């Protein structure tokens, strides 16, 4: 049902997000915005630069407005808050944030 997102929608979301995770869920541990850089060819991959498109609510025809580009960890936590790896994923997201604050 939620698996098939037209490629043009996907492209628009990817471009809008500038190849970074757009997740803003503070429960994930990454602060206000995840902002993780993603790799286009890692679509649907569990790699650290893998990404997915999360869709808000129910839809018939998705539009970019209701789509959020998410890294693998954010997406897993978003679709399944009871994920068995919740703590591990949250730890990974928190760690990334720490590393990035040293960069800038």
Task: Give the interface with Zn ion as residue ranges (CB under 5 A).
Answer: 21, 23, 25, 28, 34, 36, 71, 74
**Which distant-in-sequence residues (6+ apart) come within 8 Å of 47 by Cβ?**
39, 72
For 4, 18, 24, 54, 87, the CA distances from 15, given in Å and listed in that order, are: 19, 5, 18, 15, 30
Q: Say how far apart CA 95 and CA 43 lie, in whole Å.
A: 22
Q: Which is nearer to Zn ion, 17 or 71 (CB)?
A: 71
- 63: alpha, beta or left, given left = phi > 0 and alpha = psi -120 to 50? beta
DSSP 92: H
Q: Which is nearer to Zn ion, 8 or 80 (CB)?
A: 80
Q: Which is nearer to Zn ion, 6 or 79 (CB)?
A: 79
**Cβ 36 to Zn ion, closest distance in Å?**
5
**Cβ 65 to Zn ion, closest distance in Å?**
19
**Cβ 77 to Zn ion, closest distance in Å?**
6
Q: Which is nearer to Zn ion, 12 or 100 (CB)?
A: 100
**Cβ 60 to Zn ion, closest distance in Å?**
26
């Amino acid at each position: 049902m939620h698996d098939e997102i037209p490629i043009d929608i996907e492209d628009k979301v990817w471009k809008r997000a500038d190849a970074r995770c757009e997740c803003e869920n503070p429960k994930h541990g990454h602060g206000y915005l995840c902002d993780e850089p993603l790799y286009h060819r890692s679509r649907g991959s569990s790699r650290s630069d893998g990404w997915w498109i999360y869709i808000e609510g129910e839809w018939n025809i998705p539009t970019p407005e209701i789509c959020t580009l998410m890294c693998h960890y954010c997406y897993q936590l978003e679709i399944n808050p009871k994920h068995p790896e919740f703590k591990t994923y949250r730890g990974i997201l928190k760690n990334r944030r720490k590393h990035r604050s040293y960069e800038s």
